[in-house]
Amino acid sequence: MKLFFRKLFVLFFVLFISIPIEAQDFQGKAYYMSKTDVDMSNFGRPDMSEDQKKRMAERLKSMFEKTYILSFNKIESIYKVEEQLEAPTAGRGGGFSNIMSGAIDGIKYKNVKSNQFLSEHELFGKLFLIKEDLQKMEWKMTGETKQIGSYTCFKATTIKTWQDFDISSLRRPPNRDENKADENKQSEPVTPKKVEVVAWYTMQVSVNQGPGDFWGLPGLILEVNTDKTTILCTKIVLNPSEKFTIKPPSKGKVVSKEEYVAIATEKYKEMRENFRRGGGGRR
Protein backbone atom coordinates (compact mmCIF):
# COMPACT_ATOMS: atom_id res chain seq x y z
CA MET A 1 0.00 0.00 0.00
CA LYS A 2 2.82 2.36 0.87
CA LEU A 3 4.48 1.51 -2.45
CA PHE A 4 1.25 2.39 -4.28
CA PHE A 5 1.00 5.85 -2.66
CA ARG A 6 4.70 6.44 -3.27
CA LYS A 7 4.25 5.70 -6.99
CA LEU A 8 1.15 7.89 -7.07
CA PHE A 9 3.08 10.74 -5.45
CA VAL A 10 5.90 10.39 -7.97
CA LEU A 11 3.38 10.40 -10.85
CA PHE A 12 1.71 13.61 -9.63
CA PHE A 13 5.12 15.20 -9.04
CA VAL A 14 6.27 14.38 -12.60
CA LEU A 15 3.02 15.73 -14.05
CA PHE A 16 3.29 18.87 -11.94
CA ILE A 17 6.82 19.76 -13.05
CA SER A 18 6.24 18.72 -16.67
CA ILE A 19 3.50 21.32 -17.25
CA PRO A 20 5.74 24.43 -16.96
CA ILE A 21 8.53 22.67 -18.86
CA GLU A 22 6.16 21.87 -21.72
CA ALA A 23 4.86 25.44 -21.70
CA GLN A 24 8.39 26.78 -21.73
CA ASP A 25 9.43 24.54 -24.64
CA PHE A 26 6.37 25.37 -26.75
CA GLN A 27 7.27 27.57 -29.71
CA GLY A 28 5.67 28.75 -32.89
CA LYS A 29 5.95 31.11 -35.83
CA ALA A 30 3.08 32.91 -37.55
CA TYR A 31 3.50 34.72 -40.88
CA TYR A 32 1.39 37.80 -41.59
CA MET A 33 0.67 40.01 -44.59
CA SER A 34 0.08 43.65 -43.65
CA LYS A 35 -1.51 46.25 -45.91
CA THR A 36 -2.20 49.90 -45.12
CA ASP A 37 -4.31 52.14 -47.36
CA VAL A 38 -2.81 55.57 -48.03
CA ASP A 39 -4.64 58.62 -49.36
CA MET A 40 -2.55 59.42 -52.45
CA SER A 41 -4.29 62.77 -53.01
CA ASN A 42 -2.17 64.38 -50.28
CA PHE A 43 1.21 63.19 -51.56
CA GLY A 44 3.43 64.65 -54.23
CA ARG A 45 3.33 67.92 -56.14
CA PRO A 46 0.10 69.23 -57.70
CA ASP A 47 1.86 69.43 -61.10
CA MET A 48 3.09 65.82 -61.08
CA SER A 49 2.48 63.81 -64.23
CA GLU A 50 0.42 60.63 -64.18
CA ASP A 51 3.59 58.60 -64.69
CA GLN A 52 5.25 60.26 -61.69
CA LYS A 53 2.15 59.61 -59.57
CA LYS A 54 2.18 55.96 -60.66
CA ARG A 55 5.83 55.53 -59.63
CA MET A 56 5.17 57.15 -56.26
CA ALA A 57 2.16 54.89 -55.71
CA GLU A 58 4.35 51.85 -56.41
CA ARG A 59 6.93 53.05 -53.86
CA LEU A 60 4.23 53.61 -51.25
CA LYS A 61 2.75 50.18 -51.96
CA SER A 62 6.10 48.50 -51.35
CA MET A 63 6.46 50.37 -48.05
CA PHE A 64 2.95 49.69 -46.77
CA GLU A 65 2.60 46.07 -47.89
CA LYS A 66 4.96 43.89 -45.86
CA THR A 67 5.34 40.33 -44.65
CA TYR A 68 5.95 39.93 -40.91
CA ILE A 69 6.94 37.01 -38.72
CA LEU A 70 5.65 36.59 -35.17
CA SER A 71 7.91 34.23 -33.21
CA PHE A 72 6.26 33.25 -29.94
CA ASN A 73 6.13 30.97 -26.92
CA LYS A 74 3.69 30.91 -24.00
CA ILE A 75 5.10 34.12 -22.51
CA GLU A 76 7.04 36.15 -25.10
CA SER A 77 6.89 37.15 -28.74
CA ILE A 78 8.97 39.02 -31.31
CA TYR A 79 7.28 40.64 -34.33
CA LYS A 80 9.44 41.83 -37.21
CA VAL A 81 9.55 42.21 -40.98
CA GLU A 82 10.54 39.10 -42.89
CA GLU A 83 14.00 39.67 -44.33
CA GLN A 84 13.98 39.95 -48.10
CA LEU A 85 16.41 41.11 -50.75
CA GLU A 86 15.11 44.38 -52.12
CA ALA A 87 16.40 46.61 -54.86
CA PRO A 88 17.75 49.95 -53.55
CA THR A 89 15.40 52.89 -53.90
CA ALA A 90 16.54 55.13 -56.70
CA GLY A 91 15.97 58.81 -57.18
CA ARG A 92 14.73 61.47 -54.83
CA GLY A 93 12.32 59.18 -52.98
CA GLY A 94 15.08 57.50 -50.97
CA GLY A 95 14.88 59.74 -47.91
CA PHE A 96 11.11 59.42 -47.80
CA SER A 97 11.37 55.62 -48.03
CA ASN A 98 13.96 55.40 -45.28
CA ILE A 99 12.05 57.41 -42.69
CA MET A 100 8.76 55.65 -43.40
CA SER A 101 10.29 52.17 -43.31
CA GLY A 102 12.14 52.92 -40.10
CA ALA A 103 8.98 54.11 -38.39
CA ILE A 104 6.74 51.31 -39.54
CA ASP A 105 9.01 48.28 -39.51
CA GLY A 106 10.50 48.45 -36.01
CA ILE A 107 10.91 45.20 -34.07
CA LYS A 108 8.22 44.71 -31.42
CA TYR A 109 8.70 42.57 -28.29
CA LYS A 110 5.92 41.57 -25.90
CA ASN A 111 6.20 39.75 -22.57
CA VAL A 112 2.77 38.96 -21.13
CA LYS A 113 4.24 37.77 -17.81
CA SER A 114 6.32 40.86 -16.99
CA ASN A 115 3.84 43.17 -18.79
CA GLN A 116 6.68 44.58 -20.92
CA PHE A 117 6.48 46.05 -24.43
CA LEU A 118 9.59 47.13 -26.34
CA SER A 119 9.87 48.40 -29.90
CA GLU A 120 12.83 49.46 -32.03
CA HIS A 121 12.58 52.34 -34.52
CA GLU A 122 15.23 53.83 -36.79
CA LEU A 123 14.85 57.47 -37.74
CA PHE A 124 17.33 59.09 -40.13
CA GLY A 125 19.97 56.51 -39.18
CA LYS A 126 19.43 56.87 -35.42
CA LEU A 127 18.06 53.93 -33.46
CA PHE A 128 15.45 54.42 -30.73
CA LEU A 129 14.14 51.88 -28.24
CA ILE A 130 10.66 52.64 -26.95
CA LYS A 131 9.96 51.13 -23.53
CA GLU A 132 6.47 51.01 -22.09
CA ASP A 133 4.07 48.80 -20.20
CA LEU A 134 1.99 46.36 -22.20
CA GLN A 135 -1.34 48.12 -22.52
CA LYS A 136 -4.35 46.05 -21.49
CA MET A 137 -6.92 45.78 -24.26
CA GLU A 138 -10.60 45.64 -23.32
CA TRP A 139 -11.87 43.09 -25.83
CA LYS A 140 -15.57 42.41 -26.43
CA MET A 141 -16.51 38.95 -27.71
CA THR A 142 -19.17 38.95 -30.43
CA GLY A 143 -19.82 35.21 -30.78
CA GLU A 144 -19.17 35.33 -34.54
CA THR A 145 -16.90 32.72 -36.10
CA LYS A 146 -15.16 32.10 -39.41
CA GLN A 147 -12.42 29.91 -40.89
CA ILE A 148 -8.95 31.24 -41.61
CA GLY A 149 -7.16 28.40 -43.33
CA SER A 150 -7.66 25.30 -41.17
CA TYR A 151 -8.31 27.33 -38.01
CA THR A 152 -11.68 28.20 -36.50
CA CYS A 153 -11.57 31.83 -35.45
CA PHE A 154 -13.69 33.94 -33.12
CA LYS A 155 -14.38 37.65 -33.51
CA ALA A 156 -13.52 40.26 -30.87
CA THR A 157 -13.58 44.06 -30.99
CA THR A 158 -12.02 46.85 -28.98
CA ILE A 159 -11.38 50.60 -29.12
CA LYS A 160 -7.70 51.48 -29.25
CA THR A 161 -6.23 54.90 -28.56
CA TRP A 162 -3.72 55.40 -31.35
CA GLN A 163 -0.87 57.88 -31.03
CA ASP A 164 1.72 58.29 -33.73
CA PHE A 165 3.58 60.98 -35.58
CA ASP A 166 1.62 62.93 -38.19
CA ILE A 167 2.20 61.34 -41.60
CA SER A 168 0.19 64.16 -43.18
CA SER A 169 3.17 66.45 -42.57
CA LEU A 170 4.76 64.80 -45.64
CA ARG A 171 1.86 65.62 -47.96
CA ARG A 172 2.36 67.96 -50.89
CA PRO A 173 3.73 71.42 -49.94
CA PRO A 174 0.94 74.01 -49.76
CA ASN A 175 0.77 77.03 -52.04
CA ARG A 176 1.35 80.52 -50.68
CA ASP A 177 -2.31 81.09 -49.85
CA GLU A 178 -2.41 77.87 -47.80
CA ASN A 179 0.99 78.35 -46.18
CA LYS A 180 -0.05 80.41 -43.15
CA ALA A 181 -2.99 78.19 -42.22
CA ASP A 182 -0.85 75.10 -42.78
CA GLU A 183 1.91 76.34 -40.46
CA ASN A 184 -0.65 76.98 -37.73
CA LYS A 185 -1.98 73.45 -38.15
CA GLN A 186 1.49 71.90 -38.08
CA SER A 187 2.26 73.70 -34.81
CA GLU A 188 -0.61 71.94 -33.08
CA PRO A 189 0.32 68.88 -30.96
CA VAL A 190 -0.42 65.40 -32.23
CA THR A 191 -3.77 64.32 -30.81
CA PRO A 192 -4.29 60.62 -30.04
CA LYS A 193 -7.28 59.21 -31.91
CA LYS A 194 -9.60 56.36 -31.04
CA VAL A 195 -9.87 53.58 -33.59
CA GLU A 196 -12.11 50.51 -33.65
CA VAL A 197 -10.14 47.27 -33.91
CA VAL A 198 -11.65 44.01 -35.16
CA ALA A 199 -9.64 40.87 -34.39
CA TRP A 200 -10.09 37.19 -35.21
CA TYR A 201 -8.36 34.70 -32.92
CA THR A 202 -8.13 30.92 -32.68
CA MET A 203 -8.11 28.86 -29.50
CA GLN A 204 -6.43 26.06 -31.44
CA VAL A 205 -3.20 27.92 -30.66
CA SER A 206 -3.57 28.73 -26.97
CA VAL A 207 -1.31 31.77 -26.57
CA ASN A 208 -2.57 35.30 -25.91
CA GLN A 209 -0.24 36.82 -28.50
CA GLY A 210 -0.82 38.57 -31.81
CA PRO A 211 0.80 40.75 -34.48
CA GLY A 212 2.24 44.15 -33.62
CA ASP A 213 1.03 45.40 -30.24
CA PHE A 214 -2.18 43.36 -30.32
CA TRP A 215 -2.63 40.68 -27.66
CA GLY A 216 -4.80 39.62 -24.72
CA LEU A 217 -7.24 37.16 -26.30
CA PRO A 218 -7.58 33.46 -25.32
CA GLY A 219 -5.82 32.35 -28.47
CA LEU A 220 -3.45 33.50 -31.22
CA ILE A 221 -4.76 36.49 -33.20
CA LEU A 222 -4.79 35.61 -36.90
CA GLU A 223 -6.40 38.72 -38.37
CA VAL A 224 -6.62 42.39 -37.38
CA ASN A 225 -8.62 45.13 -39.11
CA THR A 226 -8.47 48.84 -38.26
CA ASP A 227 -9.68 51.85 -40.21
CA LYS A 228 -6.75 51.71 -42.66
CA THR A 229 -4.73 48.56 -41.93
CA THR A 230 -5.41 44.86 -42.45
CA ILE A 231 -3.08 42.20 -41.00
CA LEU A 232 -3.75 38.60 -42.05
CA CYS A 233 -1.97 35.41 -41.00
CA THR A 234 -0.99 33.26 -44.00
CA LYS A 235 0.94 30.43 -42.31
CA ILE A 236 1.55 28.96 -38.84
CA VAL A 237 4.40 26.65 -37.86
CA LEU A 238 4.09 25.11 -34.37
CA ASN A 239 7.10 23.63 -32.56
CA PRO A 240 9.49 24.01 -35.53
CA SER A 241 12.34 21.53 -35.74
CA GLU A 242 14.83 24.40 -35.58
CA LYS A 243 14.46 25.96 -32.13
CA PHE A 244 14.90 29.69 -31.61
CA THR A 245 15.54 32.06 -28.72
CA ILE A 246 13.45 35.17 -28.10
CA LYS A 247 15.64 38.02 -26.86
CA PRO A 248 14.30 41.45 -25.86
CA PRO A 249 15.77 44.25 -28.01
CA SER A 250 18.38 46.30 -26.16
CA LYS A 251 19.96 48.67 -28.68
CA GLY A 252 19.04 52.28 -29.29
CA LYS A 253 18.30 55.41 -27.28
CA VAL A 254 15.66 54.58 -24.68
CA VAL A 255 12.61 56.86 -24.94
CA SER A 256 8.93 56.81 -24.10
CA LYS A 257 6.30 56.62 -26.84
CA GLU A 258 5.41 60.29 -26.27
CA GLU A 259 9.06 61.34 -26.61
CA TYR A 260 9.49 59.37 -29.82
CA VAL A 261 6.32 60.85 -31.35
CA ALA A 262 7.61 64.36 -30.62
CA ILE A 263 11.06 63.60 -32.09
CA ALA A 264 9.66 61.95 -35.23
CA THR A 265 7.15 64.74 -35.84
CA GLU A 266 9.91 67.34 -35.60
CA LYS A 267 12.07 65.37 -38.05
CA TYR A 268 9.18 65.31 -40.51
CA LYS A 269 8.86 69.08 -40.27
CA GLU A 270 12.60 69.49 -40.89
CA MET A 271 12.47 67.23 -43.95
CA ARG A 272 9.47 69.14 -45.28
CA GLU A 273 11.26 72.47 -44.89
CA ASN A 274 14.38 71.09 -46.59
CA PHE A 275 12.17 69.93 -49.45
CA ARG A 276 10.71 73.42 -49.82
CA ARG A 277 14.10 75.18 -49.69
CA GLY A 278 15.49 72.71 -52.20
CA GLY A 279 12.82 73.62 -54.73
CA GLY A 280 10.81 70.44 -54.29
CA GLY A 281 7.64 72.25 -55.21
CA ARG A 282 8.94 72.91 -58.76
CA ARG A 283 9.64 70.60 -61.64
Q: Looking at per-residue confidence, does 277 or 253 come out higher?
A: 253
Q: What are the CA-CA distances from residue 17 to residues 26, 79, 114 (Å)?
A: 15, 30, 21
Per DSSP, the residues of 61-107 read HHHHEEEEEEEE-SSEEEEEEPP---PPPPGGGHHHHHHHHHHHS--
The rounded mean pLDDT for the chain is 77
DSSP label at residue 208: -
Q: Please state the rounded mean pLDDT for residues 12-21.
A: 39
Q: What is the pLDDT of residue 123?
A: 86
CB 159 within 8 A of CB 195: yes
**pLDDT tens sequence across 31-63:** 999 988 766 665 556 667 777 777 776 776 667
Q: How confident is the model at residue 64 (pLDDT cuts 50, 70, 90)?
A: confident
DSSP state letter for 258: H
Residue 29 corresponds to which amino acid? K
**Overall average pLDDT of the 147-168 stretch:** 82
Confidence (pLDDT) at 120: 93
What is the rounded average pLDDT of the residues 141-158?
A: 97
User: Which of 3-12, 45-54, 103-112 has the least mean pLDDT?
Assistant: 3-12
pLDDT digits (tens, 9 = 90+) for 215-229: 999 999 999 999 889
| Strand ordering across the sheet containing 126-133 | 140-148, 151-162, 193-202, 220-225, 229-238, 28-36, 65-72, 76-81, 108-111, 116-123, 126-133, 253-255
Burial (CB count <10 Å: 0-12, 13-18, 19+), residue 98:
middle
Could you give the angle at which helices 50-64 and 94-104 cross, rounded to 10 degrees? 30
Give the whole-angstrom CA distance, residue 211 versus residue 232: 9
